[in-house]
Amino acid sequence: MSPGGSGLSVGDEVEVEVTAFAHGGHCVARHDGQVLFVRHTLPGERVLARVTEVGSGSRFVRADAVEVRHASDDRVVQPCPWSGPGACGGCDLQHVSLDAQRRLKAGVVREQMARLAHLEVDVEVEPVPGDDRGLRWRTRVEFAVDGAGNAGLRRHRSHEVVPVDRCRIATDAVTALEVTGRDWPGAEAVDAVAPSGGPAVAVEVPGEEVPEVLERVSTSWRSAHGPVSFAREFAVSARGFWQVHPGAAATFLAAAMEPLAVRPGERVLDLYCGVGLFASALSEAVGPGGQVVAVEADRDAVERATRDLSSLGNVAVVAGRVDDLFGVPRTDRHRGRSRSRRPARSPLLPQSADVVVLDPPRTGAGTAVVRAVAATGPRAVAYVACDPAALARDTAAFLAAGYRLASLRAFDAFPMTHHVECVAHFVPAGA
């Protein structure tokens, strides 16, 4: 028996009917009234599920589908032998056809928007150029290293290292580094990076100074004044943030910029700006009479953005957390207690903005930041989101602040996984 009395314990195997695909890469099933979150299965299947974890108070049970007794028509033979129950945890959907993966992800976006923002949206998940049917697309892979110096990938929800031969979703350049075929004594991890602007590198962690790599972005979109072409190089730390799909940066930039229709002379806020991908394009769009204020908390990214954008003349890079700079209270954990920090609003942020672009971390911007963004009175907001639940929560905050969702696009920037990237646009409700 499990501690909470659900009747299921780790290691138990039960036959279940799978009903739905849920946010997080698992499907939902029930056994004697108990909800199971089951990986490696599909809606409509009947599987033998092995319990891998029982939540506190038996609020949930996690399980793996170890045998398929009735298969979905969307099931395929997984291209990677290391994907499956008890193996590498990096890919959730290797057993699903690529078209079905995108349908499932679109369903998650719709469900999260309906549940958390109370909006019915019609969205499809679009492919991103630069992968081979969902494989050989990942340009950055962090390999874990075990105590013996062997590199591999971690099991799902575990620190245990699976000694894979290679990663099937990694680019050929990453594979050519042969990280898993070498010994890494003393290392905790190895980052394999194949940038668009130079040779691939393997970075040992911990190790010596992290090298710099170049990423090239070339894309186009249509503005209010006609077609726009954009091309630029960005210097990024090999361990810094950059989109891992080779076509993602260009795709997201065009998807964000086109509906904004940025005008010359406007003032723009670029929040969570990283090394300045959006800020660079916004700088060109507003021209010498406009202004871009780019905000970033990561010290390395701030240094690079400041160096690379200083020559543009109309971009100011501000270092700091977005919530702190807006003067938004936040709660930190300190010695087991909550304490509220109430910073003053930074004078470096303008009181008003014509356009706002934000690309927050997976947790989202949060209601208080959304309110602060809305208070600047932008005529248009572009929100780039890597988590549909966080986007839906922040969408609800925008609606409450007097904005409406004008458009929403979703992209399959992480094939074979449950992750999906969205680009949303908001405008004042009366616009």
Distance CA 80, CA 94 (A): 7
In a domain, 105, yes or no: no
| 3-state class (DSSP) for residue 116 | helix
Same domain, 253 and 394: yes
pLDDT at 15: 98
Catalytic annotation, residues: 386
Same domain, 301 and 402: yes
Among 418, 415, 419, 420, residue whose Cα is nearest residue 92: 418
pLDDT at 225: 77
In a domain, 244, yes or no: yes
Q: Per the confidence metrics, is the pTM higher than 0.85?
A: yes
Same domain, 242 and 347: yes
Same domain, 39 and 181: no
Would you state the structure tokens that stand for residue 96, as one six-digit string? Answer: 């699903």
In a domain, 372, yes or no: yes
End-to-end CA separation in angstroms for the chain = 58
In a domain, 46, yes or no: yes
User: In this structure, are strands 291-296 and 189-193 parallel, antiparallel, or unpaired?
Assistant: unpaired
pLDDT at 5: 47
Same domain, 234 and 167: no
Distance CA 317, CA 408 (A): 28
| Count, residues in the chain | 431
Same domain, 166 and 252: no
Same domain, 218 and 203: no
In a domain, 125, yes or no: no
Same domain, 268 and 375: yes
Rounded to the nearest angstrom, the gap between the alpha carbon of residue 174 and the centroid of all alpha carbons in its chain is 20
Q: Which of 55, 75, 95 is the last residue of a domain?
A: 75
Same domain, 353 and 391: yes
Same domain, 229 and 351: yes
Domain residues for the domain of 60 are 1-75
Same domain, 257 and 154: no
The dihedrals phi and psi of 103, each to the nearest 5 degrees, come to: -65, -40
| Residue ranges in the chain modelled with pLDDT below 50 | 1-5, 333, 335-336, 338
Q: Which of 168, 188, 208 is the last residue of a domain?
A: 208
Q: How many domains does the chain have?
A: 3
Taking CA atoms, 310 is separated from 4, 214, 346, in Å, by: 59, 18, 21
Same domain, 176 and 271: no
In a domain, 63, yes or no: yes
- Give the CATH number of the domain where residue 5 resides: 2.40.50.140
Distance CA 8, CA 275 (A): 48
Among 94, 129, 88, 93, residue whose Cα is nearest residue 108: 93
Tens-digit pLDDT profile for residues 145-157: 999 999 999 999 9
In a domain, 92, yes or no: no
Among 125, 95, 93, residue whose Cα is nearest residue 109: 125
Distance CA 54, CA 61 (A): 5
User: In this structure, are strands 330-334 and 337-341 parallel, antiparallel, or unpaired?
Assistant: antiparallel
Among 219, 90, 256, 58, residue whose Cα is nearest residue 157: 90
Cβ atoms 166, 146 nearer than 8 A: no
pLDDT at 3: 46
In a domain, 89, yes or no: no
Q: Which of 48, 75, 102 is the last residue of a domain?
A: 75
Residue 178: CA atoms inside 13 Å, Cβ hemisphere, count?
A: 3
